Amino acid sequence: MELVTIEGKWDFNYTYFAGESASRFFHELRENQRIMGTRCTKCEKLLVPARAYCDVCMSVTDEWVEVGPEGTLETFTIITTAFPGLPKPPIVMAYVTLDGADTALINLVHGMDLSDIEKAAQKLNALPRVRVEFIDEPKGRITDFSFKLI
């Protein structure tokens, strides 16, 4: 007997609400090309990207501070295989601590020579300094900027 299979597809549309803090963060990206963090009123850590509250202390974070535009790479991966629905490899993705911040921020690293993956990995292993680079026409999204090795 042949086993029956029934085709299905989930194709729902959503509008995600970023909230006030992220909205202001994105606004700063678009209008002023700068990265902002918010400081926790209790532990005094400068959290980047900006958010409404510190989830460890449960305290508000209402002081806005600019960070970067330079920083230090903390850890990375080089994506070398294509996955459906995700950008084309090779892609470098890294956590970077921007100068002044107490937390690291994830984004892509552009402008590296990736013809030799192992060589590129060793370069990133040295935890290089990086600089934030904005796209020509920022749209107020996290993809408005990326990192570039200094």
Partner 1 sequence: MSVAIIGVGQTGYRRSFADKSSRELIWEAARLALEDAGMGIDAIDMVISGVAPDALAGEASVERTAMLGFGKPFLRINTGGVTGSSAVFAGNTFIRARRARAVLVVGLERMGQATSSQQVFNTIFDPVYEKDFPLTTITMAALRASMLMRLYGYTAMHWAQIASRSYRNALRNPLAHIHRDVSPEDVLNSPLLAWPIHRYEACPMSEGACAMVLVDEGMVGDRIPAWIQGAASITDSYAMGDRIHRPGATLVDLLSLKLAAQRAYAEAGVDRPREQLRAVELYSAFSSAEAMAYPALGLCASEDGPRFVEAQFTDPTLPVINPSGGPQGANPVSVTAMVRIAEAALQVREMAGERQVADVERAVATGQGGATQFSTVCVLGKRQAA
Nearer to partner 1, 95 or 134 (CB): 95
69: nearest Cα among 134, 136, 142: 134
Structural Rg of the chain based on CA atoms = 19
Name which of 60 and 104 has its Cβ closer to partner 1. 104
Structure tokens belonging to residue 143? 């993809």
Tell me the C-alpha distance between 61 and 46, whole Å: 9
84 forms part of the interface with partner 1 (CB under 8 A): yes
Stretch of 29-37, 61-69, 103-111, 131-139 lying at the interface with partner 1 (CB under 8 A): 103-111
Q: Which of residues 4-63 bind partner 1 (CB under 8 A)?
A: 5, 8, 10, 14, 16, 18-19, 22, 47-49, 55-56
Member of 116, 117, 139, 148 binding partner 1 (CB under 8 A): 117
Q: Does 133 engage in binding with partner 1 (CB under 8 A)?
A: no
Nearer to partner 1, 12 or 150 (CB): 12
Q: Spell out the long-range contacts of 6-12 with Cβ–Cβ below 8 A and sequence spacing 24 or more.
A: none
Among 11, 13, 58, 85, binds partner 1 (CB under 8 A): 85
Q: Identify each DSSP E strand in 61-119 by its residue range.
A: 63-67, 70-79, 91-98, 105-110
Supply the DSSP string of 38-61, one letter for each residue: EE-TTT--EESS--SEETTTTEE-
Residue 116 binds partner 1, judged by CB under 8 A: no
